């Protein structure tokens, strides 16, 4: 049902920090978790669209955007529990992209009682031992990421930012500049700000045992989304999720890279709305 509820925003206290959140709409709750090269503003299109039908929740994960952390060990899963409890949410559909997708999967495994449906997008899988093997694209990407690690250690932020924009916006196998200037500029602006962020150093506690050996435990409806031009390991992990989560569905978006909801917003919104309409 359509609704026009105004959005609310605020901060929720968590262990040694606080999280910024925004809520809009009414009905069944849907939680969006952003990528590691973004903050919750990456969901602007989705926040407007889905809040017509559901109670939309988006937040900046610890150490990102407007959220804050002290130097501490912490759990991303417990942060979500604290957020949902603060907002009075007993169960939500959880949608996460990239790093946020990995957090969504881990949260579903640790706290299945909170999750009505799961949508991992270009998601990582905790504990997955990826090996590039003999695949040429995989080897090239492995070398590229090794070079990016070297640039980080050297604090060569200008060159590193350009490479990150290429990998996550264009796709590492694609020509530089393939993605729209809007997406490229968004990623570049965010990652440059994050390089010099003044928060404390937050060390996430990994899920134990990790997700890689436990995907069969996931019992909620699951839709896996990934772009054709994404990194090779992301495509491999999408296959793993599809094969090992009972009843999962997978959609590959042609001509699309890592930031799929931004690059193919209209299609993404329609397909996710259809899926949620079936399962929650």
Q: Are residues 174 and 75 in the same domain?
A: no
Mean confidence (pLDDT) of the chain: 95
Whether 79 and 126 map to the same domain: the answer is yes
**Rounded-to-integer distance, Cα 167 and Cα 206, Å:** 25
Q: How far from 271 is each of 121, 252, 275, CA to CA, in Å? A: 13, 12, 6
**Residue 3 domain-assigned?**
no
Q: Which residue has the tokens 């590193």?
A: 160
Range(s) of the domain holding residue 271? 8-130+199-279
Q: How confident is the model at residue 3 (pLDDT cuts 50, 70, 90)?
A: low
Question: 147 lies in a domain?
Answer: yes
pLDDT at 2: 53
Tell me phi and psi for residue 58, to 5 degrees: -130, 150
- Is residue 220 assigned to a domain? yes
pLDDT tens per residue, range 55-66: 999 999 999 999
User: Tell me, what's the pLDDT at 202?
Assistant: 92
* Shared domain check, 114 and 211: yes
Q: Average of pLDDT values for 9-23?
A: 98
Contact (Cβ atoms closer than 8 angstroms) between residue 57 and residue 87:
yes
**Residues 140 and 163 placed together within one structural domain of the fold:** yes
Last-in-domain residue among 144, 170, 195 = 195
Considering the domain architecture, whether residues 190 and 203 belong to the same structural domain is answered as no
Residue 2 lies in a domain: no
Residue 106 lies in a domain: yes
- Quick: pLDDT tens for 111-166: 999 999 999 999 999 999 888 777 888 999 999 999 999 999 999 999 999 999 99
Q: Does the structure show a pLDDT above 60 at 84?
A: yes
Alpha-carbon distance of 148 to 9, in angstroms, equals 35
Distance CA 114, CA 103 (A): 14
Whether 91 and 76 share a structural domain: yes
Residue 56 forms beta bridges with which residues? 24, 30
My answer on whether 111 and 140 are in the same domain is: no
Q: Are residues 54 and 83 located together in one domain of the fold?
A: yes
What CATH number corresponds to the domain at position 118?
3.40.50.1820
The answer to whether residues 125 and 150 belong to one domain is no
Residue 87 C-alpha from the chain's centroid: 21
220 and 268 belong to one structural domain? yes
- As a whole number of angstroms, the distance between CA 47 and CA 30 comes to 10
Q: Are residues 49 and 122 in the same domain?
A: yes
pTM of the model: 0.96
pLDDT value at residue 131 = 82
Domain contains 28 = yes
Structure tokens belonging to residue 260: 């799929």
| The total number of structural domains that make up the chain | 2
- Are residues 41 and 158 located together in one domain of the fold? no
Q: Where are the beta strands (DSSP E) in 136-276?
A: 202-204, 223-227, 249-253
């Amino acid at each position: 049902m359509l609704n026009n509820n105004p959005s609310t925003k605020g901060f929720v206290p968590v262990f040694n920090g606080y999280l910024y959140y925004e809520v809009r709409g009414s009905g069944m709750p849907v939680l969006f978790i952003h990528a590691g090269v973004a903050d919750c503003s990456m969901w602007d299109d989705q926040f407007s669209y889905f809040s017509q039908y559901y109670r939309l929740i988006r937040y900046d994960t610890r150490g990102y955007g407007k959220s804050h952390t002290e130097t501490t060990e912490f759990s991303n899963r417990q942060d979500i529990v604290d957020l949902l409890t603060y907002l009075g949410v007993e169960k939500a559909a959880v949608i996460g992209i990239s790093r946020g997708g990995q957090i969504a999967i881990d949260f579903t495994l640790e706290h299945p009682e909170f999750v009505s449906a799961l949508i991992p997008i270009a998601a990582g899988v905790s504990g997955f031992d990826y090996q590039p093997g003999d695949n040429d694209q995989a080897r090239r990407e492995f070398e590229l990421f090794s070079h990016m690690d070297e640039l980080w250690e050297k604090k060569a932020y200008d060159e590193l930012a350009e490479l990150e924009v290429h990998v996550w916006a264009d796709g590492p196998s694609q020509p530089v500049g393939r993605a729209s200037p809007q997406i490229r500029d968004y990623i570049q602006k965010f990652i440059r700000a994050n390089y010099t962020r003044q928060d404390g150093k937050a060390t996430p506690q990994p899920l134990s045992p990790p997700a890689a050996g436990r995907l069969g435990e996931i019992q909620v409806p699951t839709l896996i989304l990934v772009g054709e031009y994404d990194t090779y390991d992301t495509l491999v992990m999408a296959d793993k999720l599809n094969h090992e989560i009972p009843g999962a569905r997978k959609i590959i978006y042609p001509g699309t890279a890592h930031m799929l909801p931004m690059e193919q917003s209209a299609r993404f919104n329609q397909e996710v709305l259809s899926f949620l309409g079936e399962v929650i």
